[in-house]
Structure 1
């Protein structure tokens, strides 16, 4: 069985689209009908995320930690207990491609680190064009990249268990896991084949995560172009 883990904190606006894309990916012909189970870890959700996830056919487990590392770990543990041989991780604000899961498995490796793309930069308002330019100039969406994203990550059950899984970190849990896997001698594919589209939202769910990195990029580019630091209002997504 193949397992997909999605951590979520109050994602009622996005979870249905996310799970629809995941469901399509789980039915790809290249998977040869192998069962795929998806679990959404509801981390301190106070909205309808859990109800909507269940209506979409995903299993759910609830925690109250506001900790993405723990959320991914709890979901992974549940799927391993059900017999998952491969764990694929994405995020609730992300849409995976139709062949996302098949592409991960086709690489025949212990670990797959994929890239991300962003189609809609509008959440950043008047800074959208600046941020898009920065991303295009500094992000390497190609084979042999060295990006690590929890929104596009796959690992074999054996390798995951070998290093003890995700640490309960509030951010950079994905980097910590991959570093541990590399240190343990696991084979890693740094590939752009598994495709996902993630959001450029300004309300970061995990401080220090992708949304936070985008805001820091805006601050950096504005500082470079104006010679002064970005005002707090802009840093907050104004």
Structure 2
């Protein structure tokens, strides 16, 4: 890929897809706004547009989202890939006067909380040459058994990110994103497909566990094969080992 200078980013687009997350959304958006405020201090030249995409919500999610100083968008796709794509299109349109090579795009999820340095750290990694940043995600230990939490910590040693792809902690250059064609209309693994396409373009992919995102530890999620399925499978494996 053509080289881009490390200080090229002047805007960021952030997208949060939401489908009936009223129980967790307020914490999600509070954490996100704290991260955006932190970025405003560390990267005051970077303009940020954050869009919450309310996909077929029938609970109180819309009212919660509108209580925060973020853009909101309603769709009825019931599809996380579509929600991410539509939200990203809206964010990039709002930043329309900024060339795509100067925009960093990233996503998290409505059941997740980002750390205060989440976006600023991605921008620092971009300044060091990253085209795509894969961040780690861990389940909320309050949702797990003590054995499950201990297993997770034992299998995720600090400083050794495995490089899994999580839409809840993902960022990349907007020009790479647009060359790929954006998120596909998939009800799962849209994030994995996006990164696969970025690698095919020759993008430099960097994995990090320095700004871990905490996501719901529930066993049944909004997508059939999403993070909840991984948590459930891990729990079942631990429970099976304990019985044997």
Q: TM exceeds 0.5?
A: yes
Contact 1:144 1:190 (8 Å CA) reproduced = yes
Aligned twin of 2:112: 94
Note the alpha carbon deviations across 1:144-190, whole angstroms, 9 max, x for none. 53221111101111010111111111111111111111111011111
Aligned twin of 1:12: 22
Q: What is the alpha-carbon distance in structure 1 between the residues aligned to residue 94 and residue 160 of structure 2?
A: 33
- The answer to whether residue 141 in structure 2 is matched with residue 120 in structure 1 is yes
Post-superposition offset of 1:31: 1.5
Post-superposition offset of 1:20: 1.3
Match of residue 69, structure 1, among 81, 85, 101? 81
Post-superposition offset of 1:119: 4.1
Match of residue 24, structure 1, among 34, 45, 58? 34
RMSD: 1.7
Contact 2:139 2:231 (8 Å CA) reproduced = no
Aligned twin of 1:165: 182
Given the two structures, how large is their TM-score scaled by the length of structure 1? 0.87
Unaligned runs of 5+ in 1: 228-238
Aligned twin of 2:7: none
- The answer to whether residue 238 in structure 2 is matched with residue 217 in structure 1 is no
* Equivalent residues in 2 for 1:1-238, closer than 5 Å: 1-28=11-38, 29-83=41-95, 85-108=103-126, 109-121=130-142, 123-124=143-144, 128-227=145-244
- Please give the secondary structure, in 2, of the residue aligned with 1:197: strand
Distance 1:151 1:129, change over 3 A: same
Given the two structures, how large is their TM-score scaled by the length of structure 2? 0.85
> Which deviates more from structure 2 when the two are superposed, residues 59-68 or residues 112-121?
112-121
Q: What is the alpha-carbon distance in structure 2 between the residues aligned to residue 223 and residue 10 of structure 1?
A: 32
Distance 1:92 1:180, change over 3 A: same
- Please give the secondary structure, in 2, of the residue aligned with 1:189: strand
Unaligned runs of 5+ in 2: 1-10
Q: What is the alpha-carbon distance in structure 2 between the residues aligned to residue 156 and residue 110 of structure 1?
A: 6
Q: How many residues align structurally?
A: 223
